[in-house]
Structure 1
Amino acid sequence: MTNGTTTPGAGKNTTPVPEGFSFDVRLWKVTKAQSKTRPHQLRWKVGGKVSSATFATSALAESRRSELWQAMRRGEAFRINDGLPESEVRQAEAEAAAQAKAKLDPTWWEFSREFMERRWRTVAAKTREGFADSLASAALGMMGDRPDAPELPEVRRAVRWSVVPAHVNEEPPPDLEKVCAWLAENSLPLSALMESSIAEDVHYRLAYRLDGKLAAKDTYKRRRRGFNAAMAYAIQKGYMGENPIAGLERPTTAATGPIDPRVLMNAVQGREFLTAVSYVGSVHRNRGRRLVAFFGCILYAAMRPAEVVGLRLDDCYLPETGWGVLTLRETRPVSGKKWTDSGDRHDKRGLKMRDPQADRPVPIPPVLVAMLRAHVKEFGTAGDGRLFQNERGGLVGTSSYWRVWQEARPLAFPPHKVASPLARKPYDGRATCITDWLRSGLPVAEVARRAGTSPEVIDRHYAGCLDNSEEENNKKIEKAMGWGDEDGSVP
Structure 2
Amino acid sequence: MATSFKVRIWGIGVYEGKRKTTYQARWAVNGKAFKEYFATRKLADGFRSKLLTAAREGVAFDVESGLPVTMLQTKQTKTPWFDFACAYMDMKWPTSSPGHRKSTADALVPITVAMLRNPPTDKSEAEKLRKTLRQAFNVNTRPPTEETRWISRNSRAVNDLAKPDALRALLGSIDKKLDGKRAAQDTIRLRRITLGNALDFAVERKVLNENPLKEIKVSKVKTVVHEVDRRCVANPVQARTLLRAVDDVSRRLVAFFGLMYFAALRPEEAANLGKTNLAIPDEGWGEIFLQSAAPEIGAEWTDSGERSEARGLKHREAGTGRTVPCSPELTAILHRHLDTHGTAPDGRLFWGTRGGGRLPSSVYGRVWAKAREAAFTPEVVASPLAKRPYDLRHAAVSTWLNAGVEATRVAEWAGHSVAVLLRVYAKCLDGGEQAARAKVQQAMTG
Q: For 1:210, what is the secondary structure of its paired residue?
A: coil
Match of 1:134 in 2: 107
Partner of 1:156: 130
Q: For structure 2, list consecutive stretches of 5 or more residues without a partner in the other structure.
A: 1-10, 13-19, 21-38, 51-69, 438-446
- Tell me if the contact between 2:116 and 2:151 (Cα under 8 Å) persists in the aligned partners: yes
Question: What is the Cα deviation at residue 316 of structure 1?
Answer: 0.7
Tell me the equivalent position of 2:201: 233
Distance 1:293 1:205, change over 3 A: farther
- Provide structure 1 residue ranges, at least 5 long, that are not aligned to the other structure: 1-18, 21-52, 54-80, 281-287, 475-491
- Secondary structure in 2 matching 1:278: helix
Q: Which whole-Å CA distance do the structure 1 matches of 2:72 and 2:130 have between them?
A: 27
Deviations 1:415-468 (A, max 9, x none): 111111111111111111111111111222222211112222212221122255
Which protein is bigger by CA-based radius of gyration?
A: 1
Distance of 2:344 and 2:240 partners within structure 1: 27
Structure 2 counterpart of 1:323, from 280, 285, 288: 285
Q: Which runs of structure 2 are paired with 1:190-201 in the superposition (5 Å)?
A: 190-201=158-169
Letter in 2 for 1:272: T
Q: Which residue of 1 aligns with 2:432?
A: 469
CA drift of 1:376 comes to 1.0
Tell me the CA shift for residue 384 of structure 1.
Answer: 1.0
Separation in 2 of the partners of 1:183 and 1:368? 55
TM-score (norm 1): 0.70
Cα distance in 2 for partners of 1:110, 1:336 equals 25
> Which one-letter code corresponds to 1:405 in the other structure?
W
Tell me the amino acid that sits aligned with residue 221 of structure 1. R
SS at match of 1:279: helix
> What is the distance in 2 between the residues matched to 1:127 and 1:231?
18
SS at match of 2:422: helix
Question: Are 2:278 and 2:288, in contact at CA under 8 Å, matched by a contact in 1?
Answer: yes
Equivalent AA in structure 2 for residue 390 of structure 1:
G
Q: CA deviation at 1:220?
A: 3.4
- Structure 2 residue 89 is matched with structure 1 residue 116: yes
Equivalent position SS for 2:168: helix
- Aligned match of 2:242 in 273, 296, 309? 273
What is the CA-CA distance between 1:145 and the residue it aligns to? 5.2
Contact (CA 8 Å) 2:289, 2:321: kept in 1 or not? yes
Amino acid of the residue matched to residue 430 of structure 1?
A: R
> Partners of 1:149 and 1:201 in 2: how far apart?
22
Candidates 296, 319, 329, aligned match of 2:258: 296
Q: Distance in 2 between matches of 1:471 and 1:410?
A: 30
Residue 360 of structure 2 corresponds to residue 360 of structure 1 = no
Give the counterpart letter for 1:163 in structure 2.
F
1:151-190 to structure 2, matched below 5 A, reads: 151-167=125-141, 170-171=143-144, 180-190=148-158
Show the counterpart of 1:349.
311
Partner of 2:335: 373
TM-score, normalisation: structure 2: 0.76
Q: Matches of 1:214 and 1:367 in 2, distance apart?
A: 47
Superposition deviation, residue 357 in structure 1: 0.6
Instruction: State the alpha-carbon separation in 2 of the partners of residues 346 and 146 from structure 1.
Output: 34
| 1:25 alignment partner in structure 2 | none
1:194 Cα shift? Answer: 2.6
Q: What does residue 34 of structure 1 align with?
A: none
Shift of the alpha carbon at 1:266? 0.7
Superposition CA RMSD, Å: 3.4
**2:360 pairs with one of 378, 390, 397:** 397
Partner of 2:394: 431
2:319 partner SS: coil
Equivalent in 178, 184, 189 of residue 210 of structure 1: 178
Residues 226, 301 of structure 1: alpha-carbon distance in 2 compared, 3 angstrom cutoff: farther
Question: For the structure 1 residues 473 and 323, does the alpha-carbon distance in structure 2 shift closer, same or farther, using more than 3 Å as the test?
Answer: farther
Q: Counterparts of 1:192 and 1:407 in 2: how far apart (Å)?
A: 54
Secondary structure, in 3 states, of the residue corresponding to 1:321? coil
Instruction: Find the counterpart in structure 2 of residue 453 from structure 1.
Output: 416
Q: Does 1:223 align with 2:197?
A: no
Counterpart contact for 1:139–1:202, Cα < 8 Å: no
